[in-house]
């Protein structure tokens, strides 16, 4: 048997051989599974880390700034639009924190007053609202009553003080 005949027979045998196919298929299947799961893990990790950084970053930055807010109600003056009308409250708010604050709302006792947002820079004082707060719904203040005045900022800082009218 010459060399050419031996090679032809060998090729024919190899072509018809089925041995080893299942191993290759298994390896290929495992490869596909590993690659796909790894890709999923990678994508999930990227998105999770990104979401965590976004949420935590916003929380840290917003709370950090809000934590630097300090407002104080320096004085409350009770007056009226006429001689006997006890219906106006002048509230003086000072920013004693380290960041500018924006006054969003004022509560007098249990009543909410949505005031025009006023930004108070560091160290400054403002009247909230500048012309005085007109009590609504026929409310009036009475002499020697305790009035609870609450001031809230847009970042969620709330300061409650009590005054005798």
In degrees and rounded to multiples of 5, residue 9 shows phi and psi of -60, -40
What is the smallest separation between the CB atom of 64 and other proteins, expressed in angstroms? 5
Joined together, the tokens standing for residue 115 give 């005031």
- Of residues 90 and 155, the one with the C-beta less far from other proteins: 90
User: Is residue 33 part of the contact set for other proteins (CB under 8 A)?
Assistant: no
Contacts for 143 with CB less than 8 Å, ≥ 6 apart: 86, 165
- Residue 17 backbone class (left: φ over 0; alpha: ψ -120 to 50; beta: rest): beta
Residues of span 51-110 touching other proteins by CB under 8 A: 52-53, 56-57, 60-61, 63-65, 67-68, 70-72, 74-75, 77, 79-80, 90, 92, 94, 96-98
| Stretch of 1-9, 42-50, 111-119, 133-141 lying at the interface with other proteins (CB under 8 A) | 42-50
CA nearest neighbour of 150 among 102, 113, 99, 123 = 113
Helix (H/G/I), strand (E/B), else coil: 76 = strand
# residues contacting other proteins (CB under 8 A): 37
- Of residues 6 and 77, the one with the C-beta less far from other proteins: 77
DSSP structural state of residue 83: S
- Whether residue 65 contacts residue 157, with contact meaning beta carbons closer than 8 Å, is answered with no
User: Is residue 49 part of the contact set for other proteins (CB under 8 A)?
Assistant: yes
Q: Applying CB under 8 A, which residues contact other proteins?
A: 38, 41-42, 45-46, 49, 52-53, 56-57, 60-61, 63-65, 67-68, 70-72, 74-75, 77, 79-80, 90, 92, 94, 96-98, 123, 125, 132, 146, 162, 164
């Amino acid at each position: 048997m010459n060399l050419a005949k031996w090679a032809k027979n060998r090729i024919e045998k190899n072509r018809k051989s089925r041995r080893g196919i299942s191993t290759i298929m298994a390896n290929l299947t495992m490869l596909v599974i590993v690659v796909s799961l790894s890709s999923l893990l990678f994508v999930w990790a990227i998105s999770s880390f990104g979401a965590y950084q976004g949420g935590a970053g916003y929380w840290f930055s917003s709370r950090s700034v809000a934590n630097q807010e300090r407002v104080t109600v320096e004085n409350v003056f009770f007056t009226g639009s006429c001689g006997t009308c006890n219906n106006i409250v002048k509230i003086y708010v000072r920013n004693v924190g380290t960041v500018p604050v924006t006054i969003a709302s004022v509560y007098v006792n249990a009543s909410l007053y949505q005031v025009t947002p006023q930004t108070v820079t560091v160290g400054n004082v403002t009247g909230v609202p500048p012309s005085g707060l007109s009590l609504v719904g026929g409310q009036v203040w009475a002499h020697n009553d305790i009035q609870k005045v609450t001031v809230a900022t847009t970042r969620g800082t709330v300061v409650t003080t009590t005054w005798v009218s």
